[in-house]
Amino acid sequence: MAALLLPVSSRLPKSTAIASARPTPRFLSFPLTTAKPCRRRGGCSILASSATSPSPVAAEAQPFRSLPPSETTVLVTGATGYIGRFVVRELLRRGHRVVAVARPRSGVRGKNSPEEVVSDLAPARVVFSDVTDPGALLADLSGSGHGPVHAAVCCLASRGGGVQDSWRVDYRATLHTLQAARSLGAAHFVLLSAVCVQKPLLEFQRAKLRFEGELAAEAARDPAFTYSVVRPTAFFKSLGGQVEAVKKGNPYVMFGDGKLCACKPISEEDLASFIADCIFDREKANKVLPIGGPGKALTPLEQGEMLFRLLGREPRFIRVPIQIMDGLIWVLDGLAKVFPGLEDAAEFGKIGRYYASESMLVLDPETGEYSDEKTPSYGKDTLEHFFEKVIREGMAGQELGEQTIF
């Protein structure tokens, strides 16, 4: 596959100053969770590495950390996805040279043309390629003329969490990113994972965990290589799907009493800043880093009450019994055994059930309970400010509900 590399400005930001200081988070480092054995649809490891514990950071083996950002090149895959776009912008703001990988037709349903992608990500160097094809990805990146890569950030995620798509993207395409980055000289790899992999009941969680294991194994094999696994809690966008409906006078829908789960959501800008921190911060190397936004954890009930308060209305809720989802999943699971085409439908039901009942917080290994206190906070953006902005400026429900895609 020939590289389609559109010309962009070669001028990159020279300033290494950070525009606004962000609160320093307190960190908890957790060992990587072992994924379930490799499934045929996901394939097995294609990185020959021993699965031992990561070696200590060899700072002297990573000279790029002593360079100014303007002299470091960072590869970003998933660059046109929800978080990936913000990561590219944050890296550029800090002065890094950025190589952004995108598809020729990217975005939801391929609505963005190559010219639009180049314009949106400028002045990053955009390389159009297929992350699901390891040979094409390496060839396209090798032929793009950007020089060696110092670090890589992977923001890939399957569109909706379907069974085969999870292994195709969350595992294999992410592994292709690691292979290409290592071939191009990358000494550090930042993975955008998810805090929900702590309790892996879903296919995309197992796929992400399997890759996390590959990453740790690669660091164990080569002491000159390090990684950071970033596990964010909920995104603001994922919690904003009901704002427009409530604005129009509809009630807020929640499962049970609205207290089945809680989260410490983080904004896309703050998350992008945290991910960018991982490039140079040695304290974040060879660690799993759960991260949430500022403030206390919020339940769906508290989120709904906040929204009604901002709108100046009396709260109105629809409480949906969680057992309804259990029944639906039971039916879909049964049908999927007869009609394999319904496999993803059953998986989507399980994903909905998971997010309706499991907190997006750190799972305390001592108590087995989700912990607000042990979930690190970072940044300055709050969910309340996000709701205020959506109420004031308006945002299409479809836009709010889009999934992170590659």
Is it the case that residue 250 has pLDDT exceeding 50?
A: yes
Q: What is the CA radius of gyration of the chain?
A: 21
Domain that holds residue 73: 63-235+265-291
Is it the case that residue 283 has pLDDT exceeding 80?
A: yes
Q: How far is CA 149 from the centre of its chain?
A: 21
Note the pLDDT of residue 190.
98
Q: Which residues contact 367 (CB under 8 A, 6 or more apart)?
A: none
Alpha helices by DSSP H, listed for 113-173, are 114-121, 134-142, 163-165
The answer as to whether 11 is a domain residue is no
Within 20-145, strands assigned E span 73-77, 97-102, 125-128
pTM of the model: 0.83
Pairwise CA distance, residues 55 & 58, whole Å: 8
What does the pLDDT average to over 289-315? 96
Note the pLDDT of residue 113.
85
For helices 268-280 and 82-93, angle between their N-to-C axes, nearest 10 degrees: 50
Q: For residue 154, what is the domain's CATH number?
A: 3.40.50.720
The answer as to whether 188 is a domain residue is yes
The number of distinct structural domains making up the chain is 1
Pairwise CA distance, residues 187 & 168, whole Å: 25
What does the pLDDT average to over 249-261? 96
Note the pLDDT of residue 121.
94
In this predicted model, what pLDDT tens digit does every residue of 351-380 receive, in sequence order? 999 999 999 999 998 999 999 999 999 999
Phi, psi of 76 (to 5 degrees): -125, 120
Kindly indicate the confidence band of residue 147, based on its pLDDT and cuts at 50, 70 and 90: confident
Q: 340-345, long-range: CB within 8 Å, 24+ apart, which pairs?
A: 343/162, 343/163, 344/160, 344/162, 344/163, 344/164, 344/165
What is the pLDDT of the chain when averaged over all its residues? 83
The answer as to whether 176 is a domain residue is yes
Kindly indicate the confidence band of residue 107, based on its pLDDT and cuts at 50, 70 and 90: low
In this predicted model, what pLDDT tens digit does every residue of 12-35 receive, in sequence order? 233 333 233 334 333 333 334 334
In this predicted model, what pLDDT tens digit does every residue of 168-181 receive, in sequence order? 999 999 999 999 99
The answer as to whether 47 is a domain residue is no
Note the pLDDT of residue 36.
40
Is it the case that residue 251 has pLDDT exceeding 90?
A: yes
The answer as to whether 86 is a domain residue is yes
The answer as to whether 78 is a domain residue is yes
The answer as to whether 71 is a domain residue is yes
Note the pLDDT of residue 103.
86
Q: Which residues contact 119 (CB under 8 A, 6 or more apart)?
A: none
Note the pLDDT of residue 238.
87
Alpha helices by DSSP H, listed for 30-113, are 82-93
Is it the case that residue 264 has pLDDT exceeding 90?
A: yes
The answer as to whether 160 is a domain residue is yes
Token pair 């490891």: residue: 45
Note the pLDDT of residue 111.
76
Note the pLDDT of residue 159.
84
Q: Give the pair of three-digit tokens for residue 190.
A: 């930042």
Cα dihedral 156/160/163/164 (nearest 10):
-60
Kindly indicate the confidence band of residue 104, based on its pLDDT and cuts at 50, 70 and 90: confident
Provide the pairing of β-strand 188-192 with 151-154. Answer: parallel
